[in-house]
Structure 1
Amino acid sequence: MAVSTLPASNLDEAAVADFHETLLQSKRIVAVLGAGLSAASGLPTYRGVGSGGLWRNYDATQIATPAAFRHDPGLVWQYTSHLRRLALGAAPNPAHYALAELARRVPGFMALTQNVDNLSPRAEHPAAQLNQLHGNLFDMRCSDEANCGYIERGNFKDPLTPALAASPEEQDATVSNNESVKRPKATAWLLEGIARKNRQILGHDYQEAAPLRTDQAALKSGDDESTESRLAVVPEPSNIPPADLPQCPKCSTNLLRPNIVWFGEALPADIVAEVDNMFNDSQPIDLCIVIGTSGSVWPAAGFADLARKKGARIAVVNLDVSDVKNMRPGTDWVFAGDAAVVVPELLKPVMGSLSG
């Protein structure tokens, strides 16, 4: 197993020594992993994929949703295929390998990852000690989960269908972020969502009306200060026929969908039960390491507090620690820096020096 060597991090020596002492005494360790773990591998955050290139100016929270898949499955699959290509082009970094080695050497270690990029499994992190909370981009399932239930794991084919091949714009890595783009219009399903929210608020006072031309006009840019500028920006319809998208081979009736948790969906019941059991059993947790996550997505945002209630000391590793809250001075640690550099240094007493 080859691991690249990165410059040593510039951490507080006393804090690192204190962490090392606790680490060596810990029998049960929990790690909560976020997008910052994969940042050193060149992957943007799930929400931030649109920050540059083909998908810039588009809001992932309006694309990766059940409603979007119902109205335009081609659009959702185009976006997912873009994510898959980014992940296939990336490689696990030293932090992924360090956590995988920690799992092999400490039976009581469990990683709870919000990442769907498959980098932890590619680093050979033991599956029994890795809970992929939000699923995996390379797993698929039938969109009719209740009646069909088909699941396919580890499909790394790209493109999944000819219609989902990378566009010339996506293939051109030199496209400037400053290049002008066609401003998208409010789609019918976005307007439907707004109307549904109005019906919930107004009840019997709500009056249905057909969308006006201005309702379907191009959305405001992000530079505008008006309320309208904060509307979600979504791409034009994909116009990909359902027959050209991944089909369920079991029922031959429905489309396949990515086996990931979309915005607006709850975690799978079996995942929730497994995590609940870990935090509700009688065994203490000695150490909780939070890596590369802002702590804004629930329920993962509450895992550190649950671990603290079971006796754990908390360590946070993040490039930006400005939002870190509820840390106990003299008990918990905050390590600012690149996870790919900081995590191997923190885990060195247990894993030693990894070499090819």
Structure 2
Amino acid sequence: MIIPAELTQCLKHSKRLAILTGAGISAESGVPTFRDAQTGLWAQYNPTELATPEAFQQNPKLVWEWYAWRQQLVAKAEPNAGHLALVELEHHQPSLTIVTQNIDGLHQRAGSNRVIELHGNINRFKCATENRILEQWEKQTAIPPHCPYCNGLIRPDVVWFGESLPVFALEQALQAIERSDVLLTIGTSALVQPAATLPLKALQQGATVIEINPETTPLTPCVHFSLRGKSGDILPKLLKSVWGDTQT
């Protein structure tokens, strides 16, 4: 792939770089997308019917066990070349901020420092009653376990259908996007709201928007540069075109 010279110069001279990542970059690590995860015993369930507050209220054990199974899938995954390239990119652009729709924590495991999680983290837990983040609790036989403070049920700290995004995370994401002069959108379908509006806000603010995705998306006609392919292939080449040999 030939990287356009204009793109190279744009990235090299960026002062406020922002990254928006979606399920595509995690899929390259073997993390199934939300709907692709429905295999084996879970194939009979519609994931949109499990990832709701109502489902947890009606059958908390079922929802907990489904997330426990998904946690096992995430635990087997390792950061890929795309994740590692973003870590390298941060070395060149210390102000870089990653806004991710993914809940697997692979960016942090790869070594990225400034990560805003719009949809939470599957490996973090909170009290369903008080919304308190819980680092640990005594071992219990109950499924789900109970909050050590109020005895409410413990749930994954992820955003379910019908729930709003965490206010602070959304505010941070908006600030990072609106202040950026270059935005890389990687592996996102540009369909899930409100994250899908973030690149449009960057465009409105005059930022250069670069899309990296194997497929075209609703965003493709709007961006300045559209690179077709996987992040693990394109990002290392992009970094090399700007700064020469990289560590990835």
Normalised by the length of structure 2, the TM-score is: 0.91
Tell me the residue number matched to 1:145: 130
Q: Which amino acid aligns with 1:346?
A: L
> How far is the alpha carbon of 1:145 from its aligned partner?
2.1
Whether contact under 8 Å (2:220, 2:226) holds in the other structure is no
Larger Rg: 1
Counterpart CA distance in 2 for 1:108 and 1:49 is 34
Tell me the residue number matched to 1:244: 143
- What is the root-mean-square deviation of aligned Cα atoms in Å? 2.1
> Are 2:206 and 1:307 aligned?
no
Percent identity of paired positions between Structure 1 and Structure 2: 35
> How far is the alpha carbon of 1:61 from its aligned partner?
1.1
User: Does the residue aligned with 1:244 lie in a helix, a strand or coil?
Assistant: coil
Aligned runs of 1:175-214 on 2, under 5 Å?
A: none
Q: Which amino acid aligns with 2:118?
A: L
Tell me the residue number matched to 1:340: 232
> Aligned to 1:43, which of 31, 35, 40?
31
> How far is the alpha carbon of 1:339 from its aligned partner?
1.4
CA gap of 1:351–1:135, structure 2 versus 1, over 3 A, is farther
Aligned runs of 1:141-290 on 2, under 5 Å?
A: 141-145=126-130, 149-152=132-135, 243-251=142-150, 253-279=151-177, 283=179, 285-290=180-185
Counterpart CA distance in 1 for 2:173 and 2:167 is 10
The answer to which of 336-345 and 84-93 deviates more is 336-345
Q: Which amino acid aligns with 1:250?
A: Y
Counterpart CA distance in 2 for 1:49 and 1:307 is 32
Tell me the residue number matched to 2:59: 72
Whether contact under 8 Å (1:23, 1:287) holds in the other structure is yes
> What stretches of structure 1 of length at least 5 have no aligned partner?
1-10, 163-242
* Cα offsets for 1:32-68 (capped at 9, x unmatched): 1000001111111123211x33322432111011000
User: Does the residue aligned with 1:48 lie in a helix, a strand or coil?
Assistant: coil
CA gap of 1:144–1:320, structure 2 versus 1, over 3 A, is same
Tell me the residue number matched to 2:246: 353
Whether contact under 8 Å (1:34, 1:291) holds in the other structure is yes
CA gap of 1:279–1:55, structure 2 versus 1, over 3 A, is same
* Cα offsets for 1:142-183 (capped at 9, x unmatched): 11126xx24328x9xxxx877xxxxxxxxxxxxxxxxxxxxx
Whether contact under 8 Å (1:100, 1:123) holds in the other structure is yes
Counterpart CA distance in 1 for 2:71 and 2:166 is 21
User: Does the residue aligned with 1:131 lie in a helix, a strand or coil?
Assistant: strand
Counterpart CA distance in 2 for 1:61 and 1:305 is 27
Whether contact under 8 Å (2:18, 2:176) holds in the other structure is no
User: Does the residue aligned with 1:303 lie in a helix, a strand or coil?
Assistant: helix
Tell me the residue number matched to 1:94: 81
User: Does the residue aligned with 2:222 lie in a helix, a strand or coil?
Assistant: coil
Q: Which amino acid aligns with 2:193?
A: W
Equivalenced residue count is 246
Counterpart CA distance in 2 for 1:276 and 1:36 is 22
Q: Which amino acid aligns with 1:299?
A: P
* Cα offsets for 1:98-127 (capped at 9, x unmatched): 11222233122111000001111110111x
* Cα offsets for 1:61-95 (capped at 9, x unmatched): 11011000000011111110111000001100011
The structure that is strand-richer by fraction is: 2
Whether contact under 8 Å (2:31, 2:74) holds in the other structure is yes
